[in-house]
Amino acid sequence: MKILVCITHVPDTTSKIQFTADNTKFDSTGVQFIIGPYDDYALARAVELRDQTGGKLTVLNVGEAETEPTLRKALAIGADEAIRVNSFPKDSFFVAKQIAHYAKEGSYDLILMGRESIDFNGGMVHGMVGELLDMPSFSPVMKLDVDGTTVKMAREIEGGKEMLEASLPLIAGCQEPIAEWKIPNMRGIMSARTKPLNVVEAVSSETQAAATSYELPPAKGAVKLIDKDNVGELVKLLKNEAKVL
């Protein structure tokens, strides 16, 4: 089976989010970058499936040169090859176009992505790629098994889940508990150095909804502490001050 996993290169979940002085760019000073947590689930499941069925596992990122360590990490976790589409990811549509173009050439059986990126939280790229390739897309997928060409999935719905069956090829936006995050081991890290990481150029530059400026939410006021022996006071405040009861 040929599997493609699309990964984002995003600030660590503990990062303080800041922008440059003119509020037009993310300020990456002191920020550590990781594979998007949902993409990490997709990758972990893809490694398991590749180990079960054989075949080849490719990871892809649309990003500039600074994302290469993140791609190397994906190789260390178990991907066989990496592709970087050399361009700043301007918006979801732009990214989807790049992925669709690459995926079409590669004719993959299964394309796994994260449910959503944790920078832009769009939850859109998988659906866009699906439509561009005329391939079914499912998200958020919390379980995925492949049996021949049949794919059995569980998809989260509000307040529960539904079990689904579909056929390869398809696209899934993944979330836990599809697999456990994998930590690269020494052998993985060593072999990642020599696995191929190919850089390809972007195929189009069309954007539809690019961000023009950023802002941070107003700072939160200080907490009002209520004595634990006076819980009635809290109820009054919730009712009369916060007006939420």
Ligand X SMILES: Nc1ncnc2c1ncn2[C@@H]1O[C@H](COP(=O)(O)O)[C@@H](O)[C@H]1O
Query: Would you tell me which residues interact with ligand FAD (CB under 6 A)?
Result: 13, 37
Phi and psi (nearest 5°) for 157?
-120, 165
Which residue, 187 or 220, is less far from other proteins as judged by CB?
220
80 binds, among ligand X, ligand FAD, other proteins, none (CB under 5 to 8 A by kind): none
Burial class of 128 by CB neighbour count within 10 A (0 to 12, 13 to 18, 19+):
buried
Instruction: Indicate whether 184 belongs to the interface with other proteins (CB under 8 A).
Output: no
The stretch near other proteins (CB under 8 A) out of 66-74, 111-119, 182-190, 195-203 is 111-119
In one-letter notation, the amino acid at residue 207 is T
Q: Are 221 and 214 in contact (CB under 8 A)?
A: no
Q: Are 63 and 117 in contact (CB under 8 A)?
A: no
36 binds, among ligand FAD, ligand X, other proteins, none (CB under 5 to 8 A by kind): ligand X
Which residue, 88 or 181, is less far from ligand FAD as judged by CB?
181
- Interacting residue with other proteins among 183, 190, 203, 210 (CB under 8 A): 210
Instruction: Indicate whether 226 belongs to the interface with other proteins (CB under 8 A).
Output: yes
HSE value, Cβ hemisphere, 13 Å, CA-based, for 104: 13
Site for other proteins in 145-174 (CB under 8 A): 156-167, 173
- Sequence-distant (6+) residues with CB within 8 A of 229 are none
171 binds, among other proteins, ligand X, ligand FAD, none (CB under 5 to 8 A by kind): none
CA distances from 222 to 219, 227, 232 (A): 9, 16, 21
If you ran DSSP here, which 8-state letter would residue 237 be given? I
- Interacting residue with other proteins among 9, 50, 139, 169 (CB under 8 A): 139
Which residue, 183 or 203, is less far from ligand FAD as judged by CB?
183
